[in-house]
Structures are given as structure tokens and as C-alpha cells.
Amino acid sequence: MVTLSEVVASADAWLQPSLFQDYDRAWNGLQVENSGTVTRLAAAVDASMTTIHRAIDAGANLMVVHHGLFWNETRPWTGRRYALLKCLMDHDLAIYSQHLPLDGHPRLGNAAQLATGLGWNAQQPFFYRSGVAIGVQSTLVKPLNRTELGLQLGACLGRPPLLLPGGPTLCQRIGICTGGAGSDLAQAVAEGVDTFITGEGPHWTHALAEDLGVNVFYGGHYATETFGVKALASELGAIFGLPWTFIDHPSGL
């Protein structure tokens, strides 16, 4: 029998959420417990009514997510909010969430997994938040044309990225920070990259990319953050002998 506490302790030990200064509502760690055992895992980018129902349909009793239940106001517990909580209780489904710790983990993290998917095994810490890296960067031995990089990135993400071509035609020092890091473009440039891959950013970053002389690829917030939950669920599944399922529910953003 695999206990919920064993699974949570292992995930916490790997991801070390106490090292990260995250958003107040991220609430990294176990967000909802179940009756105490785990027989099947589900992984999803977001905890929502849709992904929760799909996890239940898949027979999971622990769902691992990147964006948990508390991003929006959680009071009062009425209407659809009550229905969501009641659904979790009725089906004994636990929710475990990790945000920045699952962005920045050097092996299981979104950025590291995306870089590995692109074939870049030599990765260095990148994009520091309160002294802790939440991304990775790679220096390519052979520079890559940004058109080709866009094609490779699109194949890895399952959707074509948007390119802001503010930098050199050949990309060599490339930084990745998944999710919504576009508004912090200046930080990426200050850390020395000529090309920055993230999920999304505001309109004004188009002009800023030109001013700073950097290429930016926006691959989609959701698409760039499917990697970490898959890697975490796979690792937990392998160690504890648990089957797992990825619940794909793209936002399109």
C-alpha cells in the first residue's frame, strides 16, 4: 500500500518548496488530502472542475498540478466552488500543487524538461527569483538559425511559437523560463542570452525586444508548462509503482 504521506514527502524533498518565494496563492504542496492512500496518479497543468472530473474518470486519487486551487478568491464556499470541493471529497481525490519549484527544478522542471526535449543537455541555472533559479540556459556549440529553432520548438510544444525577431539571426545562448515571464524580458537579457523562450508576454515586449536586441519565442503559457507535471508524475509512478495519466486540457493561451 502506498500512502499519501509517502508520496507527498518524496515530492517535497525533490522540489524543496521552502527555498522559493512564490506567489501568495500558489500554496505549494498538498492542497487537499484524501483518506490516506494512493493507487493512481493524474497530472494536469491546472486544477479545475474539468481536469478534476477527468482525473476521477481516469480512476486517480491523487492529482499533481502546476496551478492549484487558490489562484482566485476561494471564499465563500458556495455555488460552483462548493460543487468542486464536494466533488473532491466525494471521490477521495487529493490535490498536490507545485508552482515555481516545478518551473525551476534542474531535472524535473518545466524549463529543464523543455530544454532536454530540444536536445540541449548542457544546461545552466537561469532567471533568478530571490536568489533561486526558475529557468535554465544553454549555450549551443553550433549556433542555430532562429527559423529552425522555431520549427524545433513548435514540434516540441505541439504548436508553433510566436517569434519576436529582435536579436541575431543565429541563436547561440538561449534562456528558458516557462509560463508568463515575458514582462521580465530585461532580466533575461541582463543574464546574457541572445534568445529567450517563455510562454507569453504583453504587447509592449515586441518593441522592447527590438530595443534590447534579443529574440523572443512565446510558446504559450499552457504549452510550455505541461512538462513538469508529466516528469513529476512519471518519477513518482516509477518509484512507488503507481500508474499515471496526463489530463490534457489546453487553455490556448
Mean pLDDT of 83-105: 97
CA angle 229, 234, 239 (to 5 degrees): 130
Q: Which domains does the chain have, with CATH numbers?
A: 2-98+226-244 (3.40.1390.30), 103-221 (3.40.1390.30)
17 pLDDT higher than 90: yes
CB 246 within 8 A of CB 44: yes
CB 98 within 8 A of CB 31: no
48 pLDDT higher than 90: yes
Mean pLDDT of 53-61: 98
First and final C-alpha spacing in the chain: 39
Residue 67 to residue 247: CA distance in whole angstroms: 13
Provide the β-strand partners of residue 43: 64, 246
The cell for 165 is 525577431
Mean pLDDT of 159-166: 98
72 pLDDT higher than 90: no
CB 99 within 8 A of CB 28: yes
Task: Please give the residue that has the higher pLDDT: either 73 or 251.
Answer: 251
CB 227 within 8 A of CB 110: yes
> Residue 73: which pLDDT band, with cuts at 50, 70 and 90?
confident
- CA nearest to 69, candidates 113, 119, 120, 31: 31
> Residue 195: which pLDDT band, with cuts at 50, 70 and 90?
very high
Give the pLDDT confidence score for residue 216 in this predicted structure.
98
24 pLDDT higher than 90: no
100 pLDDT higher than 90: yes
Residue 78 to residue 64: CA distance in whole angstroms: 25
